[in-house]
Amino acid sequence: MTIWIAMLLGLVQGLCEFLPVSSSGHLLLLQRMFGVTEGAMFFTVMLHLATLIAVFIVYWKTILKLVAHPFQKTVLMLVVATIPAVVVALLSKKIAFLETFFAAADAGQYLGYGFLITSVFLLLSDLIRHTRVDEDGNRVQKKGKKMKHIRVSDALVIGCMQGVGVLPGVSRSGSTISGALFMGLNRKTAADFSFLMSIPAILGGAVFEIPDAIETGMGGMHWTTLVAGMLVAGLTGYFAIKFMISAIKKKKLWGFALYTAVLGAFVLVDQFVTHYFF
């Protein structure tokens, strides 16, 4: 892997981890396009950790408050929301047919479908409206829930959406933000909760993958190539979070939905017809 490809992959990871277009799906697709095999798992794990640093930088004040008061409601809701993804990860290692399914998914067999699922989630999240009847009998839009109003049922649904987001092509941020909007959270809170959820999700994913990543090693990759990719991933991740918070407040996710729909169709055509990359 050249340093330029590493920086390109870092750019894609940083942007796509927090934009609702699936970082894992894009990395898998680009690795196929550039023929990256040696050290791919190790490199991917390190890119994920680099984007985690971006979350800490953006939300450092919130994170310090959560650490200082670990028994508050928000921490509990984040723990509850993390449980479904943990269950999915454990079952994928323990049940034979699930292990086979996830192995095929990680190899890109369902990548096109994953992008299309992301597109559907994003379209629905932009269309959904929570209404109530006012004192005059008119239907008006409800104000979304704030962080302090999140219930256990809300956290579990959002967590289940994150469980779906482990599949390449299905955006973790897109699925969790969509789930939060389905459950009536306001758009800013939906984004904040999704990005805070990424902390245990990325750390947990790294814990599961680090043994295999260490076993496969860096291959022939030079350490400067790894560092370059991580720096680009961290920097672009920071700006992607800022951009995504602004985009979701303005209700402009349809562009991402269109993009993932086109990309999903492209991958499916290649898988079934052209076979350039799959």
| Count of Cβ atoms closer than 10 Å to residue 24 Cβ | 25
Report the distance separating Cα 80 and Cα 155, nearest Å.
6
Averaged in consecutive runs of 10 residues, what is the pLDDT profile of the chain (278 residues)? 87 89 88 70 83 93 93 95 91 88 90 96 81 58 85 96 92 93 91 92 77 68 87 94 84 87 96 89
According to DSSP H, which parts of the chain are helical?
A: 3-18, 23-34, 40-58, 60-68, 73-94, 96-106, 111-127, 152-164, 172-182, 187-216, 223-249, 254-269
Q: Is 132 helix (H, G, I), strand (E, B) or coil?
A: strand
Read off the pTM. Answer: 0.86
Contacts of residue 55, Cβ cutoff 8 Å, sequence gap at least 6: 195, 196, 198, 199, 202, 237, 241
DSSP-assigned states of every residue in 174-212: HHHHHHHHHTTB-HHHHHHHHHHHHHHHHHHHHHHHHHH
Whether the Cβ atoms of residue 48 and residue 206 lie closer than 8 Å to each other? yes
pLDDT at res. 222? 80
Nearest to 85 by CA among 194, 204, 179: 204
Contacts of residue 136, Cβ cutoff 8 Å, sequence gap at least 6: none
pLDDT at res. 94? 84
Contacts of residue 80, Cβ cutoff 8 Å, sequence gap at least 6: 152, 155, 156, 159
Whether the Cβ atoms of residue 140 and residue 161 lie closer than 8 Å to each other? no
pLDDT at res. 275? 87
pLDDT at res. 130? 63
Q: Is 269 helix (H, G, I), strand (E, B) or coil?
A: helix
Cα angle at 38 between 35 and 40, to 5 degrees? 80
pLDDT at res. 249? 76
Report the distance separating Cα 209 and Cα 268, nearest Å.
27
Q: Domains of the chain: which residue ranges? A: 3-274
pLDDT at res. 54? 93
